[in-house]
Structure 1
Amino acid sequence: MFGFKVVRQNHVGLIETLGKYRREVDAGLSFYVPMFQKVRIVDLAMIPFKILIILDHKGITQIGALFQIIVG
C-alpha cells in the first residue's frame, strides 16, 4: 500500500523511515509507504526576527544575535 503527499512550493518534505531521516523531496507529488515512512513538511520561508534591545547603536535579537548600527 502506498500513500502520497503534496509538497507545496517554498516547502520541502523530509521522508523518515522508521523514525530515521532517509531523504528529502522537493515541491510536487511524493510517494511513501504509510506503515513505515512519515513525511514531514518544512516551510523554507524566512521568518523575520524581533529586535529586543537597542542601546548606543548596538542591539540584540530574539535569537541572541548581536548587531551594530553604523550611522554615517
Structure 2
Amino acid sequence: MDETSALPPHDPEQTPIYHTVVRFLGALAVLNLGGIIALAILGRPIPDILVALGSGSLGALAGVLVPNPGGQNR
C-alpha cells in the first residue's frame, strides 16, 4: 500500500495560507470601498483602476470561498 493512501484527506480550508489569502482579499475589498467612499465625499473623481481593483478583489474572494463543483477538492 502506498504511504499517502493511509493519510487522512487534506482539507485546504484548514491551511494557514488559505486564511491569509481570505483575510488579505477581504481587507483589500474593505479598504478599497473606504477609499471610494472617501473620494466621493470629497467630490473627487473615482479612478477606474480603483473600481477595477475592488471588483477584482471581490471576484477573487468569491472564487476562493465558493466550494468546488461536486464537493471534491482538486
Normalization by structure 1: what TM-score?
Answer: 0.20
Normalized per residue, the structure richer in helix is: 2
Normalization by structure 2: what TM-score?
Answer: 0.20
Which structure has the higher relative contact order (CA within 8 Å, separation 6+)? 2
Highest Rg: 1 or 2? 1
